[in-house]
Structure 1
Amino acid sequence: MSVSDIQVQGVGDATGKSYAIVFLSNIIRDAANPKGDQVELYIAPLETDTIINITTPSYDGVDKPDLQLEGTVNAVLQVPLLSNIRVTPKDSRVIGRSTITSKVIKVEANKNIVVYGINKKKYSTDGFLALPLNVLGSEYFAFCNSPVNPDDDRCQFAAAAIADDTVIVIDVPEGVSLDPINDEEQIKGPTTFGVSLDSDQAVEIQSIFDLTGVRVYTKNGQPFAFFSGNTRTKLPTSRGSRDHLAEQLPPTNAWASSYFSMPTPRKDLAECVWLTKPNNKAAGGVVGC
């Protein structure tokens, strides 16, 4: 199977010309300034003479990427970026904070490409397949894993706007509290609240509670990009170490009733499958782990 064959059922495939990417907080408080702290993009052009631009239109930091690359078919580009472009600033070990950020990375090309993101620290790494703007939707449900150590770990998700005046609406269920956004107060469920964003802004929400099944949407149908996971967690909980989890999730209009699960190459590791369904947090669970 080639990268151009990757399909997102119901809305298209994973190839495109424009992407909005957020690298979630990846925090290790028990290891100060670990080496190998960086984020990376892997970009696979599908044609020759592909021109790729990588920018952060709303972020003005000294570490902002402003790159133009040329690629060709059958040659994957590895693009290292400064680690401060992830939501949490480099070397910061602050935990328990939600935030509005302008650290949305735009990847734009003149021809179709496939993009993969790696959020890497020496002791905690995960990656995700990026979804192009043309397959984004207006409704998502978070996927996380319950934090093993609430003092150090958080569930989290991020919603990134691709147009001005985008209001991200979050349904917080009963018994769940969200970490405060910037200097505001903690948000306690049950409640529904909205966050207003302009293009290339994002809101990252963190919580010590399992956020699996939390609904995030726009009332006017405005599409946005959605990323979900954990700062760090254990899966299964019997394992000795914790790792960052990150995924860009497809919208609900791309959901289906059957899936393929790719096994890990190591047979000594358990296969874990996480299941949920809309508006039913109790349906979340691990299968075969």
Structure 2
Amino acid sequence: MILFFLLVFLLPCSGKEMPDNMGKEFIFGFMEASKADNGAPSDIPLKLFITTPSQASVSVSISAPLAGNLYSGDTITVTKGVIKQVTLEKSLRLRGTERSNKAVQIVSSEEIVVFGINEASYSADGFLGIPVDVLGMQYFVPSFFSNEMRFYKSAVVITGTKNRTELSIKIKSTHGGSVNFDGKKYGNGNWLNTTIDRFETIQLLCRGDLTGTFVQASQRVSVFGGSTVTNIGHGRSRDHIEEQIPPLNVWGKRFSIISVPGTNPNLIRVLASEDNTVVSVNNQVKQTIQRGEFYETHVNDFSVLTTNKPVLTVQYIPSVTTGHNAGDPAMTLVPPIEQSNVLYTFLTPKSSQNKNFENTFMFMLQGSDYKGLTLDRNRLHDNDFCSVVQRNNVTSGYIRIPSGSHTIEYSSGLVPFVGILYGGADHESYAFPVGQRFTPINQDCTPSQMTVGDGLDNDCDGRADEEVCYDFVDNDGDGKYDEDCITELSTTRQTTESTTTPKPTTPKPTTTTKPTTTTPKPTTTTSRPATTLYKLTTTIQKPTTTSKPASSSTATQKPTTTTPKTTKTVTKPSTTSIPNPKTTTTTTKLTTLGSQSTTIKDLNQKTTPTDKIDFDQIRPQWLTLAEFGVIGGVAVVLLGALGMCCKRCWGLIKNRDDDDDEEDEELRRRKRNKARLALGAPSIRPMYQ
């Protein structure tokens, strides 16, 4: 009986905390943000947005442990589905190349999600907070630099989490830029060696692009990259940009990229963690880059980017041009598909002028069943999804989001997807990922015991939860099944051989066009794209490892790659498949959704359309319900048996007590009979004289 109760009540609580953007401790340093018009330091307070996935109320303490004279701290309570805004003193923002004690610490009683907002006048950006427990000791930092204005500077911020942390920083800079720190000048390729303590911050500014700067620490540190203010592309409008950077051990190899609506073309940079990294876009090899180098391209629509070794992918939204004022430069990380999560809670910020942004949520998921996405627990309609595209078994699109606090998840709660939030206002914008997993898939790995949906790489193949539990199918093609799985209730599953696509209704054939493989150059004109549904299917081909990378049409600088000896990362390089160059594009019209025309584009040779839902796809749901039914039935039977036993025992005990009472009464009666008075005796006393 005791064992039964332990199984019923304790097993559901035995899961591990998934390594993701939710945590109990965060340590930030806020980068310098400059005004867009003259580059002067910002005088706008800093902001934090905090929420929790916990069912209980969570106590959160915010402080600046070494800068109590600047900020006395706050303590708040957050609950699930509600986001609290905390305003911090503007004096906590870093200024110039400096070492300071301005780190901000957030500590909570249960896991929380944190976003940071850093604003100046008509200049703003935000970042997704990374908790201390998933920080690392090796980083390559993305940044940005434009030489249009003299007050533009690229920036790197490092914050310590432990005392006496040793830092080795290899500076990477362009345009002859250098970093002046502690009275010394460090140029491109120079090493900056120093130490940092807990809650200390170091900011490095440079009149050059610091992208590719390498940070090696002896203990965990948090790292931020960006620019104090800059323009991007041909537009002259400018903005502050920044992101908190994930460590090398969580970088990925597969990315889906969608340009922000109305901002084409977007700039994409792919930063390599290892030598001989081959970058492919839509199955076409583009370039081979070395450790610390980056591949740069522009995208106008949806693309799937893959590499044979782990990389960091960064998306830059360009400056607005004349006649188009909604939006501004922004910078966001693109989470790897293999690090996508199942639920995101976020708050849309307001502009520096206290106005609402036009908010866009861009989603990317494996498979084709995107209609299971829900906004604030409400299922979305067909006309809520815009520019939906499917390519290589990956679906991408965007949703217009009203201002406020929101939660986006899949209806089953178990389908992972990537989410990026973008907002544009009058010459101002922001962009950041709304969350992701931080599973250490790019490091030495030891196979581990699996817990369903634990977010870990249990089989050491560089992916986490890549199998579908209970379907008895080898989803990842390694000859095993259910070795690293998640319960998948969707009717779509990832395979390496076929793609499921929705069947079009009312097809009308149109003309055939040939796709182009050239990378478009930035243009000064932007337009808001029509709401269009695209369907791209996958050409079934066997991967090859003998192809030679094609030269890129985008020039990238060749930095020196001499780096200190670091921990060797063990990964399984993937092969790159080269598609048939004779691929044609067929366009068919579909029925209109709402007031917007909808089209489907088929960009590949072969399609495998099917609407069939087989028995294995719905098996996990009924199996789970059956298990709960059996456990519940057994519990009722055992509890009933226990009740009957207790009733019987109580009856036996009561009867025994009644027998004891009768014996006592009989003994008392006998004593009274022996003490009877003699006939005529006045009292008992004379009888004993």
TM-score bucket (shorter structure): 0.7 to 0.9
Cα distance in 2, alignment partners of residues 152 and 165 from structure 1? 34
User: How far apart are 1:262 and its partner, in Å?
Assistant: 5.3
Aligned to 1:250: 246
Aligned partner letter, 1:103: K
| 3-state DSSP of counterpart to 2:119 | strand
Number of aligned residues:
265
Q: For the aligned residues, what is the CA RMSD?
A: 2.3
Matched, 1:274 2:269: yes
CA contact (8 A) 1:55 1:65 kept: yes
Identity of aligned residues (%): 22
Asked if structure 1 preserves the Cα contact closer than 8 Å seen for 2:36 and 2:120, the reply is: no
The 3 A distance-change label for structure 1 pair 34 and 252 is closer
* Greater relative CO (CA pairs within 8 A, separation 6+): 1
Equivalent residue, structure 2, for 1:260: 256
CA distance in 2, matches of 1:231, 1:32: 8
Which structure has the bigger radius of gyration?
Answer: 2
Q: Which residue of 2 aligns with 1:127?
A: 126
Residues 89-104 of structure 1: pairs in structure 2 closer than 5 A: 97-104=96-103
Partners of 2:39 and 2:144 lie apart in 1 by 24
Partner of 2:294: 283
Change (3 A) 1:19 1:227: same
| Distance in 1 of aligned mates of 2:41 and 2:171 | 35
Structure 2: how far apart are the matches of 1:59 and 1:105?
A: 9
- Structure 1 residues 284 and 38: CA distance shift in structure 2, 3 A: farther
Indicate the larger mover: 120-129 or 21-30: 21-30
Q: Is the Cα–Cα contact under 8 Å of residues 24 and 158 in structure 1 kept in the other structure?
A: yes
Measured after TM superposition, the shift of residue 80 of structure 1 is 1.4
Q: TM-score, normalised by structure 2?
A: 0.37
Matched, 1:51 2:59: yes
Could you say which residue in structure 2 is the equivalent of 1:160?
159
5+ residue gaps, structure 1: 1-10, 89-96
Following superposition, the deviation at residue 178 of structure 1 comes to 2.9
For 1:33 and 1:173, how far apart are their aligned partners in 2? Answer: 25
Give matches, 1:59-208, under 5 Å: 59-61=67-69, 63-88=70-95, 97-149=96-148, 151-173=150-172, 177-181=177-181, 184-208=183-207
Q: Give the direction of change, closer, same or farther, for the CA distance of 1:148–1:123 in structure 2 (3 Å limit).
A: farther
Letter in 1 for 2:138: E
Q: Which runs of 4+ in 1 moved over 6 A?
A: 32-36
Q: Does 1:27 align with 2:34?
A: yes
The DSSP-based 3-state class of the residue aligned with 1:145 is coil
Q: Deviations over 1:10-68 (max 9, x none)?
A: x920000000011100022744879972210000122221000000111233x314100
More helix, by proportion: 2
C-alpha distance in structure 1 between counterparts of 2:26 and 2:152, whole Å = 28
Task: Tell me which residue corresponds to 1:8.
Answer: none
Shift of 1:160: 0.6
Contact 1:168 1:194 in 2 (8 A): yes
Does the Cα contact within 8 Å between 2:173 and 2:211 map onto a contact in 1? no
**Contact 2:64-2:103 at 8 Å conserved across structures:** yes
Unaligned residue ranges in structure 2 (runs of 5+): 1-17, 274-289, 300-521, 523-689
For residues 186 and 122 of structure 1, the distance between their equivalents in structure 2, rounded to whole angstroms, comes to 31
Aligned CA distance change for structure 1 residues 186 and 256 (closer, same or farther; 3 Å): same
Residue identity in the other structure for 2:93: R
